[in-house]
Structure 1
Amino acid sequence: MTRTIAITGSASGIGAALSSLLQGQGHRVIGVDLRDAEVIADLSTSAGRLSAASSVSALVDGVLDGVVTCAGTSIPGDLMVKVNFFGTTELVTALQPALAASAAPRVAVVGSISATQQADSDVVAACLAGDEDAALAAAAGAIGDRRAHQLYPSSKFALAQWVRRTAIEPGWADAGIPINVVAPGVVLTPMTEELIADPAMKQIMDAAVPMPLNGYLQADDVAQVLAFLVSAENSHITGQVVFVDGGAEVTLR
């Protein structure tokens, strides 16, 4: 059965790999990105998120089978809060009516193994309260205190908590909409390949994210798991954080 799936961050990385995989299976993909996508949108702003949701809904005539949010940034700063957290939560919430109209709606969001690292409690609390202004103010405080490195874990930890909470709220499980997180370990990208090429940085990265099973990930490895979670076959998995990390999470904990 052909399904229609919206994918944010579809122009590169995991989003591009998933788009290719799903299209190869005969499904329709609605890409959402800053460029090279069916829907061009800036998910760092509320207006951009709502515009993206409206555009996707219009393209699918109000019936959407799945959403996968791959868009995100690892550059330290307030964009981590804007894109990684609110860029997913506001968009997914706005698309809930189109998902509820599907016979087998599914949502998967891309988290991170970094959610196991130390987070800023004020940033997390403001995100979970849905207060973007307060979250950005807390992020500015963290940056001022030279704790910008905590913003990525904060955004991904808050996202995982939001998914776990949302999964059983009215309009989701009772509407037949599973929503889950896939949390990758180190995924080979141009950025991480540069780090791996530096022996000192590789040692630091391997200590932070030890991956005893098969080592580093390719984008396709993560895409395969996302594809299952948004398939019609996933009837009962919801509110879960699935670590695709070669054993990093269990090693760290």
Structure 2
Amino acid sequence: MTRTMIVTGAASGIGKATAELLRERGDTVIGVDLRDADVTADLSTAEGRASLIEQVREASGGRIDGILAIAGLAAPIPATVAVNFFGMVATLEGLRPLLSGSEAPRAVGIASMASLHPHDDELVALLTAGDEPGALARAEVLAGDPSTGHLIYASTKKAFAQWVRRAAPGEDWAGAGIPLNAIAPGVIVTPMTAPLLETEEGREQIRAGVPMPLNGFAEAIVPAHLLAWLVSEENTHLCGQVIFVDGGSDAVIRGDSTW
């Protein structure tokens, strides 16, 4: 039976590769992005998030089978906070009611192996508290200092990964029969990362922070295959998992310290 999937960030990178893969396997995909998508919406604003929900409801007829919240930013700017955490959570929570008519509802979001990198404790606490004005203000401070701007991205990914862990076992998700999980990619070759990978110097710098001993940097289709399985009918019991598809970065950085 054809399943209806919502893919944010569908115009490029991991989102585009995932949308194409899902369509190839026979799913109906409603792509969401700022442009060149079935639904256009700006996830950095409350108005844009509300528009996303309404447009998807109309386009889907009020019933969907999977949510793939992929849209994100990597720039050291406050908008990264708005999209990567508040936009991601709003997408998942706002579209969740549309999963109620599905026989096999699924949801997944994008964290990152950068969640293991240095972060800003104050920003993470504000994100966890759901304080968007406070988080944006803190991000403004971090962005204003070249030595701290990079903490914004890692902080959003850490906070989102923790949100998934806390939300997934609850009544709204597991209690409603909806597996909610996240993936944590390593370095993926996309338009977003292309400028960083243009030179050998840049690639070496990236490898220093993101060691990927298994096959190196990955193409977007690699996380796309994992995402496609996570929203498939076969995935019945993964709950609150943050799955690292990172060529070994997590294993190198954390070793056995997670036990």
Q: Normalised by the shorter chain, which TM-score bucket?
A: over 0.9
Partner residue, 1:187: 188
Map 1:154-193 → 2, pairs under 5 A: 154-193=155-194
Aligned AA for 1:211?
M
Partner residue, 1:216: 217
Aligned AA for 1:164?
R
Residue 120 of structure 2 is aligned to residue 120 of structure 1: yes
Paired residues, number: 253
**Post-superposition offset of 1:200:** 2.2
C-alpha distance in structure 1 between counterparts of 2:137 and 2:156, whole Å: 14
Partner residue, 2:250: 249
TM-score (norm. length: structure 2): 0.94
SS at match of 2:88: helix
SS at match of 2:109: strand
Structure 1: unaligned runs, 5 residues or longer:
none
**Structure 1 runs of 4+ with >6 Å offset:** none
Partner residue, 1:36: 36
C-alpha distance in structure 1 between counterparts of 2:195 and 2:85, whole Å: 26
Task: Indicate how the Cα distance of structure 1 residues 41 and 191 shifts in structure 2: closer, same or farther if over 3 A, else same.
Answer: closer
**Post-superposition offset of 1:195:** 2.7
Identity %: 48
Aligned AA for 1:206?
R
Partner residue, 1:91: 91
Aligned AA for 1:162?
W
SS at match of 2:226: helix
Partner residue, 1:104: 104
SS at match of 1:95: helix
**Post-superposition offset of 1:228:** 0.2
**Does the CA contact (< 8 Å) of 2:6 and 2:32 recur in 1?**
yes
**Does the CA contact (< 8 Å) of 1:100 and 1:176 recur in 2?**
no
C-alpha distance in structure 1 between counterparts of 2:92 and 2:52, whole Å: 10
129-138 or 14-23, larger mean C-alpha shift: 129-138
C-alpha distance in structure 1 between counterparts of 2:230 and 2:67, whole Å: 10
**Post-superposition offset of 1:196:** 2.8
Partner residue, 1:232: 233
C-alpha distance in structure 2 between counterparts of 1:227 and 1:59, whole Å: 21
Partner residue, 1:152: 153
TM-score (norm. length: structure 1): 0.97
SS at match of 1:157: helix
C-alpha distance in structure 2 between counterparts of 1:34 and 1:191, whole Å: 15
C-alpha distance in structure 2 between counterparts of 1:29 and 1:118, whole Å: 36
100-109 or 195-204, larger mean C-alpha shift: 195-204
**Does the CA contact (< 8 Å) of 1:71 and 1:84 recur in 2?**
yes
**Does the CA contact (< 8 Å) of 1:63 and 1:98 recur in 2?**
yes
**Post-superposition offset of 1:204:** 1.4
Structure 2: unaligned runs, 5 residues or longer:
255-259
Task: Indicate how the Cα distance of structure 1 residues 130 and 27 shifts in structure 2: closer, same or farther if over 3 A, else same.
Answer: same
**Post-superposition offset of 1:191:** 4.6
**Does the CA contact (< 8 Å) of 1:100 and 1:177 recur in 2?**
no
**Post-superposition offset of 1:145:** 4.4
Map 1:3-82 → 2, pairs under 5 A: 3-82=3-82
Aligned AA for 1:18?
T
C-alpha distance in structure 2 between counterparts of 1:195 and 1:148, whole Å: 16
